[in-house]
Amino acid sequence: MTNSLAEFRLPIRVYVEDTDAGGIVFYANYLKFMERARTELMRSLGFDKPALFDDMQFVVTDVSLKYRSPAMLDDQIWVTAVLSKASRVSFEMAQQVYRGDELLVEGWVKVACVNSATKRPQGMPKNMFNALTEHFKNSI
C-alpha cells in the first residue's frame, strides 16, 4: 500500500446494494467508490460543493481500471486518491481500492473543469488549484 503523506484515504463498508447476486461488488461500483473518495478529498480541502461551484463543474474525461480481486459483501475497504498531474483546467489521480493490505482495484482518472453553461474547458478557481496541489506537493 502506498504510504505517501499526501495520499487521501476513505473507508467504505460494502453493502448489499453494492453487490451482485453472489455478494461480489459489481464492477461499476468501484467507479462510485472512487468518485466518493475524490469528493471527500475536496471536502477535506475546504470545498463543500466539490462537483459544482457557481459557474463551473468537474467532469471525468478519461478513466482506466484494473481489477485484481473482488471485494465482497460486508468487507471494509479503503479507497485512496493521489494527485499525479495537475493544471488549472484538469487533473489526474491515481486511485486504489484495498481490503487491508490487499490491492483489489487500481484506477487512473482524469477530471476536467468546465463552464457549467457552455461545457467548455475553464480554469478552476486559483484557491482550489493551490489547495489541491499543495496537499499533494510531494506526489506530483
pTM of the model: 0.90
Residue in 18, 20, 55, 74 annotated catalytic: 20
Q: Are 51 and 108 in contact (CB under 8 A)?
A: no
How far apart are the C-alpha atoms of 73 and 62, rounded to whole Å?
28
What pLDDT does residue 52 have?
63
What pLDDT does residue 64 have?
98
Dig out the grid coordinates for 110 from the structure: 482524469
What pLDDT does residue 49 have?
73
Q: What does the domain layout of the chain look like in residue ranges?
A: 8-135
Does the annotation count 20 as an active-site position? yes
Q: Considering only the top CATH level, what class is 8-135? A: alpha beta
Q: Are 108 and 93 in contact (CB under 8 A)?
A: yes
Low-confidence ranges of the chain (pLDDT < 70): 1-5, 50-52, 139-140
What pLDDT does residue 140 have?
61
